[in-house]
A and B are shown apart, each in its own frame.
Chain A
Amino acid sequence: MSQKVERRLRVNPILCDGYGYCAEIVPELIALDDWGFPIVSAASIEADDILAHARRAVGTCPRLALLLDESTARPT
């Protein structure tokens, strides 16, 4: 059985200043709270096009606060 790589967005809330670009780029995964800070979906990213947007959001963050977490999950 092959091991599956799970990818999730994570925000470093200390670095984040609430520019909000990420929520524009990948609204499928990121919403903004009432103060303009990102609420990031904890779901594993499956679709290729969403993953591409997620990577672009990571690269666009002016604070470098957005991370793409890649972990190898054990096959269940």
Chain B
Amino acid sequence: MSTAQPSAQGAARGAVGSRLMAGPAYEAGYERIEDHERRLRKRPTGGAWLIDVIARSGLRGRGGAWFPTARKWSAAAAGSQGNAVVVINGSEGEPLSAKDKLLLSLRPHLVLDGAALAAESIGATDIILYISRDPRGADKALARALAERRRTGAQEPAITVVRTAHRYIAGESSAVANRASGGQSKPKFSVQRTAEKGVDDRPTLVQNAETLAHVATIARYGSDWFRKLGTEHSPGSTLLTLCGNVKHPGVYEIDLGSPLGAVLDAIGGPASPPPGALIGGYFGMWVPANLIPGLPLDPERLRAERGGSLGCGVVALLPQGACGIVESSRILAYLAAETSGQCGPCVNGLAALSDTMDRIAASNPQSGDAQRVTRWIGMVRGRGACHHPDGAVGQLASALQAFDEHLASHLAGRRCRGVDVPGFPQPPQPGAGWR
């Protein structure tokens, strides 16, 4: 199966909720500014009022961390003397995720409205649109959208496009600030947060593209409307990329209050009974088959009940015959290669873990490998300048837990047929360069 592609299924089936993706069907493609403004009306003007409305809406960032958006805006606004920067983070480094590319391709004006609203609300003079060099990217749609806004005389700060090599961690906020300041898209170690000292040392709001699109709807319809979907602590809808063993892979807009089973039912279900699933992407959490139907997607409950996160909204179902241990070690190998090479524990620890997991996945372990893996998972966690090592070992640790019985068979040297099954869309070749 190929990498999850934007698909018409979400809109056609009206999976569970349709807000960001309301309007023309996916196959109608790009929505022009005239159609966008006729459908939604012109956006209001941002300001302190909007930070209050967002706070009441309970919106959390859709880039992966689910941080309360209003708190992030307040921090940037507090530091801004009218000189802040808003960065639209559309870099989408997660190989299994397609939602930001889809959103920027089909509804660019929703995202750009959200960025303009953010700039007005926090006191920013510049907007940076940060995207990866990606052949499947939204470059064409964005160039067209920016030209339309100039032509129609949109009252908003200048929007500059900054590109990065497609790297897993290029979207981490300090890496974004680094790249947008003219450097490499590698994370930085800083005592100050990006909100205080980011692009060119100015107060900077780095916000995921989808989050800004939600802002554009909340500014128009209000916080009560936003809360009609989702749960008390995780309100609203979200874009989910469903891939792997599903009949109709693609990007769907779902109600955050729905359990995974209901979402799968609404989109046509798995292609065959999945032996497990990866939730949240390569930094995510593995769940065994029996937990899939009832799994909450609401990030609050997911953390409380399963200790995991929805991350950037990826749900990948394992194909039949595929092995979670093998798949997890393939992802680990990719993440080890995607280190920015700056921090000793990440560079050495992920490489050592990956070598060991390769042996375990091949059912060819050396004596002590299981103990080494446990020891190194604990040793690496929390020791990088960014969360790359934490995400990588978290994914691994959850696989070892979700598939513990099967792991014992690998450790006992019993051959696993999963090594011959392609599993998920394969991790891409690690990127080259950091600009």
| Range of interface residues on A (Cβ < 8 Å) | 10 to 19
Q: A13-B385, A14-B385 are in contact. Are A37 and B344 (CB under 8 A)?
A: yes
The answer for the CA separation of A27 and B188 in the assembled complex, in Å, is 27
Give residues 18-64 of A contacting B (CB, 8 Å). 18, 33-37, 39
The answer for the CA separation of A50 and B349 in the assembled complex, in Å, is 29
A12, A17, A67: most-surrounded residue (chain B CB, <10 A)? A12
Give residues 338-375 of B contacting A (CB, 8 Å). 342-346, 348-349, 352, 375
Q: A33-B379, A34-B376 are in contact. Are A13 and B188 (CB under 8 A)?
A: no
Q: Does B383 count as interface, using CB distance less than 8 angstroms?
A: yes
Q: A33-B379, A37-B383, A39-B383 are in contact. Are A16 and B352 (CB under 8 A)?
A: no
B344 close to A35 (CB less than 8 A): yes
B189 close to A39 (CB less than 8 A): no
B383 close to A12 (CB less than 8 A): no
Q: Does B261 count as interface, using CB distance less than 8 angstroms?
A: no
Q: In the complex, how many angstroms separate the beta carbon of B357 from the nearest chain A beta carbon?
A: 16
Q: Does B288 count as interface, using CB distance less than 8 angstroms?
A: no
Interface size on B, residues (CB 8 A): 17
**Chain A residues within 8 Å of B375, by CB:** 34
Chain A residue nearest in CB terms to B347: A35
The residue that B342 contacts in the complex, of A13, A35, A39, A67, with Cβ under 8 A, is: A13
Q: In the complex, how many angstroms separate the beta carbon of A34 from the nearest chain B beta carbon?
A: 7
B189 close to A14 (CB less than 8 A): yes
Q: Does A5 count as interface, using CB distance less than 8 angstroms?
A: no
Chain B residue nearest in CB terms to A10: B191
Q: Does B384 count as interface, using CB distance less than 8 angstroms?
A: yes
Q: A33-B379, A34-B379, A37-B383 are in contact. Are A14 and B343 (CB under 8 A)?
A: yes
A14, A16, A35: most-surrounded residue (chain B CB, <10 A)? A14
**Chain A residues within 8 Å of B346, by CB:** 13
Q: In the complex, how many angstroms separate the beta carbon of A56 from the nearest chain B beta carbon?
A: 22
A33 close to B385 (CB less than 8 A): no
Q: In the complex, how many angstroms separate the beta carbon of B18 from the nearest chain A beta carbon?
A: 44
**Chain A residues within 8 Å of B343, by CB:** 13-14, 16
**Chain A residues within 8 Å of B191, by CB:** 67, 69
The residue that B349 contacts in the complex, of A17, A18, A35, with Cβ under 8 A, is: A35
The answer for the CA separation of A18 and B383 in the assembled complex, in Å, is 13
A37 close to B342 (CB less than 8 A): no
**Chain B residues within 8 Å of A69, by CB:** 191
The answer for the CA separation of A55 and B343 in the assembled complex, in Å, is 23
Question: Residues on A close to B: CB < 8 A?
Answer: 12-18, 33-37, 39, 67, 69
Question: Residues on B close to A: CB < 8 A?
Answer: 188-189, 191, 342-346, 348-349, 352, 375-376, 379, 383-385
Can you list the 7 inter-chain pairs with the closest CB atoms, starting with the nearest?
A13-B343, A35-B348, A37-B344, A14-B342, A12-B189, A14-B189, A14-B385
Sample of 13 A–B contacts (CB below 8 Å) = A13-B344, A14-B343, A16-B343, A16-B344, A33-B349, A33-B383, A34-B348, A34-B352, A34-B379, A35-B348, A35-B352, A37-B344, A39-B379
